[in-house]
Structure 1
Amino acid sequence: MTFASPTRILLIEDHAFTRDGLRAAINLETDLRVTAEARSGEEGLEVLARHEVDVAVVDIGLPGIDGIQTCTEIKRGWPAVRVVMLTAHDLRDEVFAALAGGADAYCLKSAQSDLLLLAIRAAAAGSAYLDPQVAHHVLGGIRAPDTASPLTAREMDVLRLIADGMSNKDIALRLGVSVSTVKLHVQDLLVKLQAADRTQAAVKALRRGLL
């Protein structure tokens, strides 16, 4: 009889006490195993270059590059790796920024360990998970969207692909247009959404119910 290998987990958490607790809770499970750890986003990316990982559990408040940027970099460099965002705060902007950065699951540190394990398993299985205490932010954004979108249909296409973490080159290939055309669409949608960059544009679009 053959047994499935445990889900390999990378912990990216700067506080040793929290990291120890997470490791202990996860390693009690037969189907989950912490195989690598890092104390910062930069270190986490270096670890990913050397280790095979299925799920990265990332603290949103990391020193250096924060958890959201770390998530974005993980999705860019290792798109198959699933990301569980871990935070101490129930903040609307953080929730949407994490989702825009490509997080597959979002869990509060104050939650019981069962919920974190549920989030990890859901992410590993290709599903999404939101901590029940933050789900209302997303539901609120869906139920109370702004009025009509200021974006054209093609700008919305570009925005959706940005939210999926795609680069301008990838978007150009997907839509069958030139990179310069994509850049023009990105510039236009940034102006219309009054966003400073691509990530902020995706966050604002999520908050307004456009995505």
Structure 2
Amino acid sequence: MFGIVLDSMTKQISVLIVEDHDILRQGLRLVLERANKFTIVGEANNGRLGVAMAAELQPDVIVMDIGMPELNGIDATRAIKLARPDVRIVMLTAHENDDEIFAALSAGAAGYCLKDAAFDCIQVALSSVADGAAWIDPRIAQKVLKAFEHHANSQSGKQIAVEEKPTDVLSTREKDVLRLMVDGASNKEIGDKLIISLSTVRTHVEHILEKLAVTGRTAAAVKAMKEGLI
């Protein structure tokens, strides 16, 4: 009886699926609903409808395809994040194109998952971003790390004026939070590590995003590593 009560009290993660392939969209719904952790609040088969449904349904997490009719997933993500910065978006795509990866992260996506990933991985991705962390498919992560390495090598030997660094406007505590964001820590993990409340963590994250001129914590982490801010 006690276990049943705990299960009933477990907060469900509300999910909006934006995917133009009917079979994949229906398959995602079926698998996620069977996990007993997610509630599918809606489905959209194009980016424009996805933007409208995101505003109406206010989901915790959005699964977003990239290549869709009317409005692609990257532009849809950007529009959704402008209207509601707190929503978490996981890009689900068959593409490993470098430009699309960085465009999606820059648009504010918190996760990037390939369509051929196991459904268990997709569930982990959704759970991770819902908890405030970032999640990138391991195969994509290799590309991201290589891009950072290439950028770091190209910047070696170049002197950057102190007054031009964006981190100059960040407080010491904000820099601490940013380092943990880069490590992939969730808001709760950041709060536990720095011994601050969850609301304080959220405030620091909001200030960091504003000062770095990015729309999501993943984009902030990417910018921090790419530009050597921490």
TM-score band w.r.t. shorter chain = 0.7 to 0.9
The answer on 1:124 being equivalent to 2:130 is: yes
Q: Normalization by structure 2: what TM-score?
A: 0.67
Deviation at 1:155, TM superposition (A): 7.5
Aligned to 1:71: 77
* % same residue: 35
SS at match of 1:107: strand
Instruction: Work out which of the residue numbers 212, 220, 223 in structure 2 matches 1:161.
Output: 212
Q: Runs of at least 4 residues of structure 1 off by over 2 A?
A: 148-165, 208-211
Q: Is the CA contact (8 Å cut-off) linking 1:13 and 1:40 kept in structure 2?
A: yes
Aligned to 1:171: none
Kept in 2, the 8 Å contact 1:142–1:209? The answer is yes
Cα displacement string for residues 92-123 of structure 1 (whole angstroms, at most 9, x for unaligned residues): 11111111111000000011101111110001
Q: 1:156 to 1:120 in 2, by over 3 A?
A: same
Q: Do the aligned residues in 1 keep the contact of 2:82 with 2:215 (CA within 8 Å)? A: no
What residue is the counterpart of 1:144 in the other structure? 150
Query: How far off its partner does 1:45 sit?
Result: 1.4
CA contact (8 A) 2:47 2:70 kept: yes
Deviation (angstroms), 1:151: 8.5
Other-structure match for 1:115: 121
Distance 1:50 1:143, change over 3 A: same
1:23-50 per-position Cα deviation (integer Å, ceiling 9, x unaligned): 1111111111211111111101111222
Equivalent position amino acid for 1:125 in 2? D
Gap regions ≥5 residues in structure 1 = 166-201
Any stretches of 5+ residues in structure 2 without a counterpart?
A: 170-209
- Quote how far apart the aligned CAs of 1:65 are: 1.7
Q: Secondary structure at the match of 1:134?
A: helix
Over aligned residue pairs, what C-alpha RMSD do you find? 2.5
| Distance in 2 of aligned mates of 1:102 and 1:11 | 17
- Identify, as 1 or 2, the structure richer in helix: 2
List aligned pairs for 1:85-96, cutoff 5 A.
Answer: 85-96=91-102
- 1:210 alignment partner in structure 2: 227
Match of 1:7 in 2: 13
**Equivalent position of 2:86 in the other structure:** 80
1:164-195 CA-to-partner distances (Å, cap 9, x unmatched) read 36xxxxxxxxxxxxxxxxxxxxxxxxxxxxxx
Q: Deviations over 1:30-85 (max 9, x none)?
A: 11121111111110111122213100000011112211111111111111110000
Aligned residue among 36, 47, 57 for 2:63: 57
Q: SS of 2:138's equivalent?
A: coil
Provide the C-alpha distance between the structure 2 equivalents of 1:98 and 1:71, rounded to a whole number of angstroms. Answer: 8
The answer to whether the Cα contact below 8 Å between 2:81 and 2:215 also exists between their aligned partners in 1 is no
Q: Normalization by structure 1: what TM-score?
A: 0.73
Does structure 1 conserve the Cα–Cα contact (< 8 Å) formed by 2:47 and 2:68? yes
Q: Is the 8 A contact 1:45 1:74 kept in 2?
A: yes
Change (3 A) 1:101 1:150: farther
| Aligned twin of 1:193 | none
